[in-house]
Amino acid sequence: MIFYKTAEEIELIRESCLLNCKALEHVASVIGPGVKGSKIDKEAEALLRDHGAVPGFKGYRGFPATLCISLNEQVVHGIPSDYEFKDGDIVSVDCGTFINGFFGDAAYTFALGDVNEDVMELLRVTKTSLYKGIDAAVRGNRLGDVSHAIQRYCEQEHKYGVVRELVGHGIGRNLHEAPEVPNYGRRGRGIKLKEGLVIAIEPMVNLGTKAVRQLDDGWTIITKDKKVSAHYEHTVAVKAGKADILSSHVGVEKAISNNPNVKEVALKSEVVI
Ligand code: MG
Ligand code: MG
């Protein structure tokens, strides 16, 4: 069952999303080679709690942390650890926040130091595909139009692997609500998009094969061929004409431009929103 949101509820979700993105912005300002995931996880949790919020992921089905930190061939759901990031790593950071009764959800993939151009291109394409999906998330379209826009751009135009096993989702009073929002699908299929629908759109795109597997920790998803994977996510409200992006990567990108340890992805969010 889909819970459609009122305008007031959407504003509460926006508040949750913007605080959530403050945590990602903090990550963007401190991440770099030599930094431990466990450290930025603690800092993100402190930032959320200082603002009266609760981490959205911690304790969710037993997940032990505030952030999902997924390195290189890890796709999503990586558990923060004492590993020190190193030059050339790409680090996907996913954060969830719960405040005022509603969840916010967003993710960003950071390129640390000297990252190969083929990997930077994967990041640019994955991030662009997120906005292509968002562009299709308008009243009167169907959910398959969102899914298809992402898949077509990543697979047909760029020959990357779009992960099938993990998908975006409705969001609101629950972190994961109906409908599922796959990053692959057929145009014109699926539910009709109506105002009040709030979804997290989150392409997970691999440099090589789309096939993934789960590590023995019960959480971390990695690519089967061990090639790198990227992940960008926004929480979005369906509107007539143009979707309303409730989260924001703009602060994250500003922090990256001031952090010499992180390489900027060519596409800037403020250009496309
Ligand atoms: Mg997320
Ligand atoms: Mg999500």
Asked if pLDDT for residue 17 goes beyond 90, the answer is yes
Ligand nearest, relative to CA of residue 176: 2
Among the residue ranges 49-58, 67-76, 260-269, the one predicted with the least confidence is 260-269
Asked if pLDDT for residue 41 goes beyond 80, the answer is yes
State whether residue 186 is helix, strand or coil: coil
Report the alpha-carbon distance of residue 56 to residue 94 in Å, rounded.
10
Ligand nearest, relative to CA of residue 168: 2
Contact 176, 196 (CB under 8 A): no
Q: Give the residue from 8, 77, 100, 4 showing the smallest Cα distance to 233.
A: 77
- Supply angle C-alpha 12, 131, 189, rounded to 5: 90
State whether residue 62 is helix, strand or coil: helix
| Cα–ligand 2 centroid distance for 169 (angstroms) | 6
Contact 178, 190 (CB under 8 A): no
Q: For 7-263, CATH number?
A: 3.90.230.10
Which DSSP state fits 17? H
Q: Mean pLDDT, to the nearest integer, of 206-212?
A: 98
| Cα–ligand 1 centroid distance for 105 (angstroms) | 5
Asked if pLDDT for residue 273 goes beyond 80, the answer is no
Domain boundaries, the chain: 7-263
Pairing mode of beta strands 74-76, 221-223: antiparallel
pLDDT digits (tens, 9 = 90+) for 70-108: 999 999 999 999 999 999 999 999 999 999 999 999 999
| Cα–ligand 1 centroid distance for 271 (angstroms) | 23
